[in-house]
Amino acid sequence: MKILIDTNILISAAYSKDSISHQAFKKAVEPPNQGLICEQSFEELRRVFNRKFPNKIQAFEKFISTVLPTIEIIPVPPLPFPDENKIRDIDDRPILRAAIKANSDILLTGDKDFLESGIKKPQIMTGSQFLQSK
């Protein structure tokens, strides 16, 4: 399965190895799954860590060096997709666009704008839901 991992899951996974997000991340990148990250999420991850967790930059860099060989970074298609207007936050729409372009099965997130959108493909799941899925 192809799983696009949203920024909030990445931040939690990088910040705490004991988190549900970290467990979900590990499951998403281990075969037979294929972990994907939108290029926008990757850039945002770095900005958030520099701004909110400057004392955790070393842990972030270690996480990134571990992550890069296990994931594929997906570019954001420039043109909108029909379903993306279901996402309230326009800043999140490129992430959905990348998930659709990559033909993701799952978009792994904790973001309510995605979770409450009603979008069926890709399937939108929280870390807990993903860990409970087969």
Q: Give the tokens for residue 48.
A: 């958030």
Q: Using a cut of 0.85, tell me whether the model's pTM lies above it.
A: yes
Domains within the chain, CATH numbers bracketed: 2-132 (3.40.50.1010)
Query: 3-class SS at 35?
Result: strand
Q: Which of 87, 83, 105, 93 is nearest to 35 (CA)?
A: 105
Whole-number pLDDT of residue 63: 79
Q: What's the pLDDT tens digit per position in 20-68?
A: 999 999 999 999 999 999 988 877 877 887 888 888 778 778 878 888 8
DSSP 61-104: HHHHHHHGGGEEEEPPPSSPPGGGGG-S-TTTHHHHHHHHHTT-
